[in-house]
Each structure stands twice: as C-alpha cells, then as structure tokens.
C-alpha cells in the first residue's frame, strides 16, 4: 500500500503553530514511510473563508520545507483539491447512500428544529435530531425535492450495535450506534458538511493515513459507518493530541508567539520551528533533541506519537532557535542578521559591523533581538538595570577596579584585544581581585550590561574613546 497523508486546513486565516504541527505530523507520517503528502483545502464553510489564506498556507508550507507532493499548488490525479469545487461529487455519493437506504432527505425547517432544541434545553439534554423524516417513502421525498422544497441529506444511523476502531495514538474507540445522531451530510445550500466530505475525499484521494486533531476521535465511528455503507476500506487513523501553551493561554493566530509569520518576522528560523514542533507530542527513540527535517523524516515513527498534549513554550523555542543561529555559517548568518539590524551603520566600517554581529552570534535567541544586545554600541547614554547598580555598589573595591582600568586603557596605544586583555590582567594583579568583582564591574561600566560576549571583544568593538567615556560615567 502506498502511504498517502493529507493536510486539510480550512482557509480561515493565518497559520499558528498548532496548524503547522498538524501539517508537520501529516508530512512526517508520509515521509517516514516513503509516502506522499497531499494538500487539500477544506473550504466548505464559505462564511469563515478568508481572502488570501490559501496562498498564505502554501507559502508557509514551502517556507518551512513541507512541500506537498500533490494537491493545491502542486496538482495531481485526484483533484480538484478544493472542496468547494467538488460539490457534484459529494451530491452524487450522498444520493447513492439515499438509494441504499443509509441516508435520507430531511425537510424539517428551522422552526421545527428550534422547537426540538428548546425541548432538549428544557430537559437539559443535548439536542439531537429525532429522525422525523427518516421514514418518508423515497418516492415521495424525491417528488418533494423535484418540487423545489428545501432539504438536507442526513445519514441514517443504525439503532443497535457498536462501532469501534483502533486509533494509532489512542487505542480502541467504541461507540454504541444508538447514541449517534442522524447527522447532516449535505446542507440545504448544497455544500457538504465536514462529516461527509472528509470521508469522500479521503477515500477518493486514496489517503492511507488520516492525521488530524483528537477533537475528531469520537466522531470517527460515524465516518466509519459511511465507509461501511459504501463498502470502502477505511484509512488508518492517527488522532493527534492538542498543543497547549506553557502559560495556559489559548493558542491563537492573533498572539505574536503563536502566529507563524510573526515568529518568522521576528527572526525565528524555519528549521528551529520545525525541529521544536516535531517534539510537541512526539518523542524520538534515541535521546536526542536536534533534528534537521531530513533526520526527522527518517526518525519519525507514528507509534511514538504521545496521547498527552504537547506543551508549547516560547522559551523552549528560543532555546532551539539560539542553537540554530549559533550553528549557522558565518556568511549566511551575517546576511540574515543584517536584515534585522535597525541601527544606522553608514559611519561604521563593514569590518566593524561584521565583527560586532559575529561577536553577538551566540548571544541572541531570535533575529530582532540583535537590536537589544548591541544597543549600547550605537548610543551615548545607557541605563543600568537595578541588578547592575546593585553589583557596582556591592563592594568598596569596585571604584578602585574601575579607576585602575581607566588608567590601563588610557595607556594602550595599539588598540587590540591582546592589549585589552593585558589591561584587565594588570588590574587583577595590582589590586588582587578576580572573578565576579573584576569582570562584572568592568563589563557593566563599559558596555552597560551585566552579561554578554567576551569582555575584551566587547571593549575592542566599543573603541578606546567610547570605553573611556563609559568608564568615567
């Protein structure tokens, strides 16, 4: 059997990390078994459709390397891949079910349904359709349809028995058929519901493994009854755990830490995002965290998807991103990071700018952060944090350390890191200070920060004049 998976987003807006994790797992399911990854657009809810969303989905998938082998943007033999272009197909199959007696035309109007809802409300039970139209003779129903009466097509659920299946992640799922509602397959506007379209499309597109969120876990038996009515073999189901947030807020496209484009625009690298998201709900066999997409394709195993929610933590993503930045080739890093640098560098030499950016390569977790860490190289004034001030006031030796360092720096004629190191050593030896009380005051006074790259490199980049000005403040 050829493994074929699909990512089937509804085009309702920008992608967030939860959407991308779904796409990634579907992609990895396919690639880990030498299969094909298909992009299908589920646009049957016309009201929720957002202009430009499909382009955005395609661009995002390309950007992060999850290129569909087939489907929207890639073409293929099983199209159209927009559900809105498949209405005639759904209608045909729904009518086939009606013919078989496994579905029926329902003419109940809003008024009647509202009454049923009110009754259910009053009884504090969930509303389910009562099967009112199930027994209308087919001839009569067809006549009413031909007369232009408004209708929906509903699935006729068996009144007894049990439907069960084994989900790859959650194990056996069982449902009493008597509890299942005669759900709508085709709405009165001629559009299918998700509940119907997913079955028809997954079958016709030869999807072998269905990856989707676990919110569909318990409705899957209804879909299996449809497969059974048609006499089709059902796919393997991989219901995936939710992604929740470490800070317990809800994932939203509007939140900057969750919105994919926002993350990319702030300088999170697609490789880092993919690497991190793969570990949200999946764990590799070996004890390893860093994976390229290629490596993930090999290591991924659907049996190791967890049924516990994946916990998204921006701090952890920053850690992955910092790792990827640190390991970028210098040349690639420089051209990438320059696109985030907002300071005017026209009066600086290219060599100085490059040295500065390289010095801070290992000290940023995302692109725009470069502007925070190099800020004091571009301004005359800086504000010290309380923590810095506390350290400067923590010991009587501190002013002496700074004073001595000023005189050492003043004497340097050849401005290079070796001489700067020597100056630091001279302070250390003459005052007999070391460690925290030596380096921290110098770093704080010179650069305005308590932490950062090697002290001599920072001071070298600041230049003699600026260093002295800062130290004398």
Catalytic residues: 253
**Looking at beta carbons only, is 10 or 208 nearer to ligand GLU?**
10
Note every long-range contact of 74-78, with CB atoms under 8 Å and residues 24 or more positions apart, other chains counting. Answer: 74/39, 76/38, 78/38, 78/204, 78/205, 78/206
Nearer to ligand GLU, 8 or 455 (CB): 8
In this chain, which stretch among 8-16, 222-230, 352-360, 395-403 interacts with ligand GLU, using CB under 6 A?
A: 8-16
Taking the least distance from each CB to ligand GLU, the nearer of 198 and 447 is 198
Residues in contact with ligand GLU, shown as a per-residue x/- string from 383 to 422 under the rule CB under 6 A: ----------------------------------------
Which region among 5-13, 185-193, 278-286, 458-466 touches ligand GLU (by CB under 6 A)? 5-13
> Near ligand GLU by CB under 6 A, which window of 2-10, 72-80, 103-111, 461-469?
2-10
Question: How many Cα atoms within 13 Å fall on the side-chain side of residue 400?
Answer: 13
Helices and strands per DSSP (H, E), number in the chain: 20, 12
- Cα separation, 93 vs 88, in Å, equals 9
In whole angstroms, the minimum distance from the beta carbon of 73 to ligand GLU comes to 17
What string marks each residue from 122 to 151 as x (binds ligand GLU by CB under 6 A) or -? ------------------------------
User: Which residue(s) pair with 41 in the sheet?
Assistant: 82
Stretch near ligand GLU under the rule CB under 6 A, chosen from 4-12, 219-227, 257-265, 453-461: 4-12
Rounded to a whole number of angstroms, the minimum distance from the CB of residue 232 to ligand GLU is 16
d(C-alpha 146, C-alpha 167), whole Å:
42
- The answer to whether 60 touches 261, Cβ cutoff 8 Å, is yes
Piece of 3-11, 55-63, 109-117, 322-330 that binds ligand GLU (CB under 6 A):
3-11
Distance CA 410, CA 40 (A): 68
Give the nearer residue to ligand GLU in terms of CB position, either 9 or 310: 9
Distances (CA, A) of 440 to 415, 434, 435, 453, 455: 22, 10, 8, 12, 9
Structure tokens at 190: 């001629």
Residue 42 or 271: the one with the smaller Cβ distance to ligand GLU is: 42
- Contact code string over 182-201 relative to ligand GLU, x by CB under 6 A: ----------------x---
Q: Which of 4, 5, 8, 322 binds ligand GLU (CB under 6 A)?
A: 8
Q: How far is the CB of 392 from ligand GLU (least distance, A)?
A: 55
Segment 315 to 374, residues that bind ligand GLU, using CB under 6 A = none
Integer Cα distance of 380 and 373 in angstroms:
15
Give the residue with the Cβ less far from ligand GLU, 10 or 467. 10
State in angstroms the smallest separation of the CB of 2 from ligand GLU. 19
**Cα torsion 116, 120, 125, 126: sign:** positive
Min. distance of Cβ 72 from ligand GLU in angstroms?
A: 13
Helix (H, G, I), strand (E, B) or coil at 230: helix
Size of interface with ligand GLU, in residues (CB under 6 A): 6
Least separation, in Å, of the C-beta of 42 and ligand GLU? 4
- Give the residue with the Cβ less far from ligand GLU, 10 or 369: 10
Give the single-character DSSP code of 281: S
- Helical (H) or strand (E) element with 328: none
Distance (Å, whole) CA 281 – CA 132: 43
Instruction: Give whichever of 10 and 259 is closer to ligand GLU, judged by the CB atom.
Output: 10
Do 461 and 422 form a contact (C-beta atoms < 8 A)? no
Residue in 4, 5, 10, 53 binding ligand GLU, rule: CB under 6 A: 10
Whether the bond between 80 and the residue before it is cis, its omega within 30 degrees of 0, is yes
Q: Among all chains, which residue has been given the structure tokens 């509303």?
A: 127
Closest distance of CB 198 from ligand GLU, Å: 5
* CB 428 within 8 Å of CB 400: no
Which is closer to ligand GLU, CB of 8 or CB of 461?
Answer: 8
Give me the residue label for tokens 């992060």.
64
Shortest CB 242 distance to ligand GLU, Å: 12
Main-chain dihedrals φ then ψ at residue 379, nearest 5 degrees: -125, 155
Q: Report CA Rg, the chain.
A: 31
The four Cα atoms 441, 449, 357, 411 give a dihedral, to 10 degrees, of -30
Work out how close the CB of 87 gets to ligand GLU at its nearest, in angstroms, rounded to a whole number: 16
The closest of 207, 241, 193 to 42, measured between CA atoms, is: 193
Question: Per CB under 6 A, does 42 bind ligand GLU?
Answer: yes
Site residues for ligand GLU, 211-250, by CB under 6 A, read 212
Q: What residues numbered 261-320 form the site for ligand GLU, per CB under 6 A?
A: none
- Do 199 and 226 contact (CB within 8 A), yes or no? yes
Catalog residues that contact ligand GLU under the rule CB under 6 A: 8-10, 42, 198, 212
């Amino acid at each position: 059997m050829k493994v074929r998976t699909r990512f089937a987003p509804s085009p309702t807006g920008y992608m967030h990390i939860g959407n991308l994790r779904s796409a990634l797992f579907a992609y990895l399911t396919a690639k880990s078994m030498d299969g094909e990854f298909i992009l299908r657009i589920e646009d049957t809810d016309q009201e929720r459709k957002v202009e430009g969303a499909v382009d955005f989905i395609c661009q995002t998938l390309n950007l992060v390397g999850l290129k569909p082998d087939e489907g929207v943007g890639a073409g293929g033999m099983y199209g159209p891949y927009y559900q809105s272009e498949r209405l005639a197909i759904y209608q045909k199959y729904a009518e086939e079910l009606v013919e078989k007696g496994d579905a029926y035309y329902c003419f109940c109007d809003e008024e009647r349904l509202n009454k049923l809802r009110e009754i259910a409300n009053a009884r504090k039970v969930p509303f389910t359709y009562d099967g009112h139209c199930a027994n209308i003779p087919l001839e009569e129903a067809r006549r009413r349809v031909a007369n232009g009466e408004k209708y929906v097509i509903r699935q006729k659920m068996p009144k007894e028995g049990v439907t069960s299946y084994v989900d790859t992640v959650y194990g056996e799922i069982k449902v009493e058929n008597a509890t299942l509602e005669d759900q709508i397959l085709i709405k009165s506007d001629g559009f299918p519901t998700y509940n119907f379209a997913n079955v028809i499309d997954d079958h016709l597109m030869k999807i072998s493994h269905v990856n989707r969120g676990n919110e569909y876990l318990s409705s899957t038996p209804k879909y299996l009854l449809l497969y059974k009515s048609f006499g089709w073999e059902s796919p393997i189901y991989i219901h995936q755990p939710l992604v929740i947030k470490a800070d317990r807020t809800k994932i939203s496209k509007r939140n900057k830490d969750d919105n994919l484009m926002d993350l990319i625009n702030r300088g999170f690298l697609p490789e880092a995002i993919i690497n991190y998201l793969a570990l949200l709900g999946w764990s590799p066999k070996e004890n390893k965290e860093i994976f390229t997409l290629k490596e993930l394709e090999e290591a991924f195993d659907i049996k190791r998807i967890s049924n516990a929610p994946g916990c998204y933590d921006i701090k952890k993503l920053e850690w992955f991103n910092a790792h990827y930045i640190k390991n970028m080739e210098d040349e690639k890093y420089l051209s990438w990071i320059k696109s985030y640098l907002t300071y005017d560098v026209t009066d600086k030499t290219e060599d100085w700018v490059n040295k500065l950016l390289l010095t801070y390569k290992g000290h940023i977790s995302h692109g725009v952060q470069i502007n925070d860490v190099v800020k004091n190289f571009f301004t005359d004034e800086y504000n010290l944090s309380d923590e810095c001030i506390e350290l400067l006031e923590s010991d009587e030796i501190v002013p002496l350390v700074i004073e001595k360092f000023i005189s050492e720096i003043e004497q340097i004629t050849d401005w290079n890191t070796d001489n700067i190191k020597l100056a630091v050593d001279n302070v250390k030896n003459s005052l007999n200070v070391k460690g925290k009380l030596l380096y921290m005051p110098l770093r704080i006074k010179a650069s305005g920060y308590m932490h950062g790259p090697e002290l001599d490199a920072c001071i070298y980049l600041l230049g003699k004049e600026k260093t002295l000005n800062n130290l004398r403040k």
